[in-house]
């Protein structure tokens, strides 16, 4: 039965679903469309004269696809695995699995591989496209195999991390947030090593090689390059990449061994002990207070007019370990702030204005990205947790209005994620104070970030209301945000290489943006279609393209205006149905019911 009945069931049932074939075809088609778009941009900006130009194009597009696939594999392996395990805990089905004769290894490894199956299938499907790129020249089979090895290994580490944290923590948001923050710290650690902050070399090996051996992003960049005589470590040819495979594999094994040993201690014995201890402590405290006060009545806590908002702000609705998440985010902020201060202390400014702005934005971008992901994760889990615990049904039979529920949830989301919203704005103010941003551009940037935070929060609430299954809701919501961010990064990288041909790039990107709009509508509007969501889905990719071109050309005012209008409309397209058609949005009735 392979690794146990949990994984065997997934392998048996998954191929029967049309979604497996559809996702595999769509993913490979999207990568191929990206290759075709790059080709159209190339032939539109210059002439292809011979095999040398084809080889350079093959090498360039391979260098574009490999990091993109790595980012996808790491993000989705970690977050989907954490969401799948957290859903089992929220629905108390993990307790039932623990009561069976499944061994710890079968439970942990089976659930891990079952959750990662869809991601692994996508990587295997895309390997054929990577092999086809070798026909263009400039890329060898060895490079493709190294890239696939790094991708699979990094995905295994990310999935093991998400599974272990989800088995450890009791709340879905805690699992998702801690997984995302650990991944970011992992990537930032590699950049710190590569910069050689501490020493130029350790044990006679350069810090750059240590970064390749310990972090996936540096390892994938090394795997893309053809091997050279200098790519050796401890006498092994291609040593840094090989060492990354060994270190990552060992780390994945250790994570899973820890989870196997501790899974029955964490679930549910630890929670039961905590609840018993808290109950005893509360009973003892109550008895002591009663004896001290005699017959005096204890005043109850005053609830606000909106009890949803009161609960989100005044109680530990997302668990007390949310403090740990905030501290971890502060660590990420400190690392990015040190990097920004280090850049501002550099006197070398022999660069163009756009290059200076992009360089100054590098320390800020990771903070913004992880902030948007965490806000979205908090938003979607705020609804899915209520549904899994059957608390949403109780809320719907009270006299609370849909407006109170939705706006109360949004208010609680922004209160609990205030650090993720405000700290990136602090970095922007620092750039303004050091005269890297004008006052006008600072206002545009701050307002744009606020609009994006409201959008991702409403996107999470919309997904949590629309999809009945928590795992699907989390996957759709986070996938939309990640694909949006990754799509922006890929487009900017391609456009920076051809800054003089923005008009032709629009023609080349048209098919790609139409496909993105269709995918966005399938994710957000297929279950409860509306003309507003349909319009938003088709307009958003084109508007994002215009924002990028405006930014690279220095038209910050137009970029802000389009961002505010587009994503403001997208937020309204999801918010208004959530309030006015609450029963339809949550699936309690259909649009045909009177």
Q: Where are the domains of the chain?
A: 5-269, 307-585
pTM of the entire predicted model: 0.84
Q: What is the reported pLDDT for 182?
A: 92
User: Average per-residue pLDDT in the chain?
Assistant: 80
pLDDT (tens digit, 9 = 90+) per residue, 68-94?
A: 899 999 999 998 899 888 888 877 888
Task: Compute the C-alpha angle 530/30/522, nearest 5°.
Answer: 15
Q: What is the reported pLDDT for 271?
A: 47
Q: What is the reported pLDDT for 259?
A: 92
Question: Rounded to the nearest 10 degrees, what angle do helices 470-497 and 531-552 cross at?
Answer: 30
pLDDT (tens digit, 9 = 90+) per residue, 383-425?
A: 888 887 777 777 777 788 888 888 899 999 999 999 999 999 9
pLDDT (tens digit, 9 = 90+) per residue, 7-29?
A: 787 777 766 677 778 888 888 98
Q: What is the reported pLDDT for 519?
A: 81
Please state, for a pLDDT cut of 70, what percent of the chain lies above it: 81
d(CA 108, CA 6): 9
Least confident of 306-320, 502-516, 564-578: 502-516
Q: What is the reported pLDDT for 569?
A: 92
| Pair 225, 140: CB distance under 8 Å | no
* Residue 297 DSSP symbol: P
What number is the average pLDDT over the span 287-293? 52
The answer to whether residue 444 scores a pLDDT higher than 60 is: yes
The answer to whether residue 460 scores a pLDDT higher than 80 is: yes
Q: What is the reported pLDDT for 200?
A: 66
Q: What is the reported pLDDT for 300?
A: 65
pLDDT (tens digit, 9 = 90+) per residue, 93-113?
A: 888 888 888 888 888 998 898
The answer to whether residue 348 scores a pLDDT higher than 70 is: no
Structure token pair of residue 249:
């594999």
Q: What is the reported pLDDT for 594?
A: 36
DSSP 62-97: HHHHHHHHHHHHHHHHHHHHHHHHHHHHHTTHHHHH
pLDDT (tens digit, 9 = 90+) per residue, 528-560?
A: 778 888 888 888 888 877 777 777 666 778 888
d(CA 416, CA 414): 6
Q: What is the reported pLDDT for 522?
A: 83
| Residue 156: closest CA among 14, 263, 254, 13 | 254
Q: Which residues pair with 202 in a beta bridge?
A: 205
How crowded is residue 315: how many other Cβ atoms within 10 Å of its Cβ?
Answer: 10
pLDDT (tens digit, 9 = 90+) per residue, 214-267?
A: 899 989 998 898 876 555 555 555 578 888 999 999 999 999 999 999 888 887
């Amino acid at each position: 039965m392979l690794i146990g009945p949990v994984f065997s069931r997934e392998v048996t049932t998954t191929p029967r679903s049309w979604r497996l074939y559809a996702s595999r075809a769509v993913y490979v088609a999207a990568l191929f469309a990206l290759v075709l778009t790059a080709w159209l941009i190339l032939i539109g900006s210059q002439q292809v004269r011979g095999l040398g130009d084809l080889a350079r194009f093959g090498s360039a597009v391979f260098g574009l696809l490999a990091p993109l696939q790595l980012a996808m594999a790491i993000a989705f392996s970690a977050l989907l695995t954490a969401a799948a395990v957290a859903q089992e805990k929220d629905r108390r089905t993990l307790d039932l699995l623990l009561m069976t004769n499944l061994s710890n290894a079968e439970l942990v490894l089976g659930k891990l591989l079952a959750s990662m199956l869809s991601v692994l299938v996508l990587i295997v499907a895309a390997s054929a496209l990577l092999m086809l790129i070798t026909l263009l020249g400039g890329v060898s089979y060895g490079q493709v195999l190294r890239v696939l090895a790094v991708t699979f290994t990094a995905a295994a580490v990310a999935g093991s991390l998400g599974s272990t944290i989800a088995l450890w923590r009791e709340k879905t948001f805690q699992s998702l947030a801690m997984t995302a923050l650990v991944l970011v710290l992992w990537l930032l650690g590699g950049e710190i090593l590569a910069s050689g902050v501490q020493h130029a070399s350790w044990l006679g090996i350069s810090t750059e090689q240590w970064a390749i051996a310990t972090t996936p992003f540096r390892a994938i960049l090394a795997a893309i390059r053809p091997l050279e005589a200098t790519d050796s470590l401890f006498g092994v040819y291609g040593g840094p990449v090989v060492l990354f495979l060994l270190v990552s594999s060992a780390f994945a094994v250790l994570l899973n061994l820890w989870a196997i040993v501790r899974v029955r201690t964490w679930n549910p014995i630890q929670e039961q002990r905590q609840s018993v201890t808290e109950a005893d402590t509360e009973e003892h405290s109550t008895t002591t207070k009663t004896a001290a006060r005699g017959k005096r009545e204890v005043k109850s806590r005053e609830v606000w007019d909106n009890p949803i908002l009161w609960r989100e702000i005044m109680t530990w609705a997302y668990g007390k370990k949310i403090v740990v998440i905030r501290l971890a985010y502060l660590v990420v902020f400190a690392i990015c702030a040190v990097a920004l201060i280090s850049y501002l202390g550099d006197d070398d400014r022999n660069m163009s204005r756009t290059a200076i702005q992009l360089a100054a934005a590098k320390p800020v971008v990771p903070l913004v990205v992880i902030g948007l992901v965490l806000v979205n994760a908090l938003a979607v889990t705020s609804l899915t947790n209520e549904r899994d615990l059957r608390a949403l049904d109780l809320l719907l039979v009270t006299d609370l209005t849909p407006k109170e529920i939705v706006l109360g949830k949004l208010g609680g989301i922004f209160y609990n994620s205030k650090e993720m919203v405000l700290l990136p704005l602090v970095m922007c103010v620092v750039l303004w104070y050091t005269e890297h941003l004008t006052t006008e551009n600072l206002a545009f940037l701050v307002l744009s970030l606020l609009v994006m935070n409201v959008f991702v929060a409403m996107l999470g609430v919309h997904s949590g209301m629309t999809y009945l299954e928590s795992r699907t809701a989390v996957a759709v919501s986070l996938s939309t945000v990640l694909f949006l961010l990754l799509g922006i990064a890929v487009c900017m990288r391609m456009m920076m290489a051809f800054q003089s041909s923005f008009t032709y790039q629009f023609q080349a990107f048209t098919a790609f943006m139409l496909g993105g709009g269709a995918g966005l509508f399938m994710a957000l509007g297929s279950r409860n279609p509306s003309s507003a969501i349909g319009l938003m889905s088709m307009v958003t990719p084109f508007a994002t393209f215009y924002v990028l071109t405006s930014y690279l050309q220095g038209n910050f005012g137009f970029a802000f205006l389009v961002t505010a209008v587009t994503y403001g409309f997208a937020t309204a397209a999801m918010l208004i149905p959530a309030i006015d058609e609450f029963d339809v949005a949550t699936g309690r009735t259909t649009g045909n019911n009177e």
